[in-house]
Structure 1
């Protein structure tokens, strides 16, 4: 019997519900839009000489469009798509966004022992995550071995302003791209003199400052349920980026076994542990984005040890039969005194 669920992971799914209901007297501006196949939401406290809503939205939309031109894997004319289409042995000049993200993911790849990898797209294709859900299946060993020849971030390297590959690799930066743009949008707001804001792109989020009345920006971290959305804890933020990775929004089940869209590049298979979700806080939303994926790949035991060793602010939710158990690292506890 097959059960297929293909829905995007929402990092902080209830953030809008908690922050979007302001009194009409609250001087908080908001914009919403579409990006990266999903949506974005930005809220801020205006200051003297800050742009009006329409001007700022046009500026942000232009930033997001440029980023799509650079890194999109869903269009053939982006910088990254052209690199992916090139043969082994290619070196190509890349924009700063790609160079920065590859450098970040290189560190995560090495520190995770190769578990985290931005070249696993052929594996998702093989297992049926990039196509008709009815074609999702466990590949035979030979097909998996052949596909693994097109995977391996160790065959990708930076050379000045160029990105080079020794094999015919397909690079996908979606594991860190949204967090990266959260940071860039936050920087843009601060260039306009805005000091209090919340930026959310496709579920990745960062909040800085205080709302009117000296109130904190508060977000809910979702309980990893397949059927509906329930707030598990609520935290107050000031300066932290937030990212959640989980196996409960994009998976398929076959013969009673769950296959997640999160892959361990070392064996080419979806992760098969009890860790249902992990949330990471970090001043860099891009780093939080990548680290949540790293910990999700590693699982409840190795990921916990990694988080402690690297002083990561992380919130783990582990399946225990039909229920969930959660625990937080000391760093997460220290950063979220306002959690409920």
Structure 2
């Protein structure tokens, strides 16, 4: 996936040796890289993307599961979140097929948008089909899915307490040897302290943060993020700096944090409240950052403060 991973776990008499655990984890990551990567020409997703319109291809369960989940997020966001934005990512300079980061001409943008749209995808049994020449990009949920797969494998090997992380998405289950929960620090700036954070004890939850400043470029004084709103074909333009989501599923935390970032501070907040999502929103007002958590986040944070 062009990134890094880490796994910490509490061993017991029943758990395998660390080398075996590492080998099992890397087998999962290697398999998913072969299936989901946009940076290798022989991946299952790349092969599907190269097909013309009105084509189908038998795909691995992982690809079908992620597309199905992505379709549900696209429908819920009225198309703001869309896993077929690959051509737009390349056009703006954020995708694997990019030549340079740029603000495209309106005519070129309009032409590229014709190759984007989640409604052009459908799942037919074990096949993924498309009625237009769309390209699938699963990067917004691949890491969360990988963490879920790693966690399931660890538990199958007898590991009952672990903290697994891939490309920044993580999940913590169980307790450390001293009986305390795994601790996760979440950025929560205040007007009087832009570097403030909140430390939570996590057991049985995935944690994901989506941020506009992780990949961007500046053109003529304007900031362009890698997060695109498929409804406009352009990078997000609101003042939301990041969203952190805590969810029992690392996959859901990964997808929802991206969804809420794209929707923005008002629409995203309404969506999170309406779906009882534990989310922390960080907004930017010039150089000043501030944060607030949804009621679900505050309930969870209050019940999972280390030492309580």
TM-score for both structures, normalised by structure 1: 0.85
Q: 1:268 maps to which residue?
A: 233
Q: How many angstroms does 1:166 deviate by? A: 0.6
Q: 1:39 maps to which residue?
A: 4
Q: 1:241 maps to which residue?
A: 206
Contact 1:220/1:231 (<8 A) preserved: no
SS in 2 for 1:210: coil
Q: 1:153 maps to which residue?
A: 118
Q: 1:307 maps to which residue?
A: 272
Q: 1:189 maps to which residue?
A: 154
In structure 2, how many angstroms separate the alpha carbons of the residues matched to 1:222 and 1:38?
22
Q: How many angstroms does 1:57 deviate by? A: 0.7
In structure 2, how many angstroms separate the alpha carbons of the residues matched to 1:132 and 1:95?
24
User: Larger relative CO (CA 8 A, sep 6+): 1 or 2?
Assistant: 1
Q: 1:171 maps to which residue?
A: 136
Q: 1:79 maps to which residue?
A: 44
C-alpha distance after superposition, 1:20-60 (max 9, x if no partner): xxxxxxxxxxxxxxxx1111000111122211001111111
Q: 2:108 maps to which residue?
A: 143
1:217 aligns with 2:203: no
Q: How many angstroms does 1:252 deviate by? A: 1.0
SS in 2 for 1:86: coil
C-alpha distance after superposition, 1:193-232 (max 9, x if no partner): 21111000010000011101111111112368xxxx9562
List gaps (5 residues or longer) in structure 1. 1-35
In structure 2, how many angstroms separate the alpha carbons of the residues matched to 1:168 and 1:133?
18
1:326 aligns with 2:291: yes
Q: 1:111 maps to which residue?
A: 76
In structure 2, how many angstroms separate the alpha carbons of the residues matched to 1:106 and 1:194?
33
In structure 2, how many angstroms separate the alpha carbons of the residues matched to 1:63 and 1:110?
30
Q: How many angstroms does 1:130 deviate by? A: 3.5
Q: How many angstroms does 1:86 deviate by? A: 0.8
In structure 2, how many angstroms separate the alpha carbons of the residues matched to 1:298 and 1:287?
16
Aligned residues: 301
Q: How many angstroms does 1:136 deviate by? A: 2.3
Q: How many angstroms does 1:334 deviate by? A: 1.5
Deviating more after overlay: 121-130 vs 111-120: 121-130
In structure 2, how many angstroms separate the alpha carbons of the residues matched to 1:66 and 1:242?
23
What CA RMSD, in Å, does the superposition of the two structures yield over aligned residues? Answer: 1.8
C-alpha distance after superposition, 1:221-247 (max 9, x if no partner): 2368xxxx9562221101110110011
1:93 aligns with 2:58: yes
List gaps (5 residues or longer) in structure 2. none
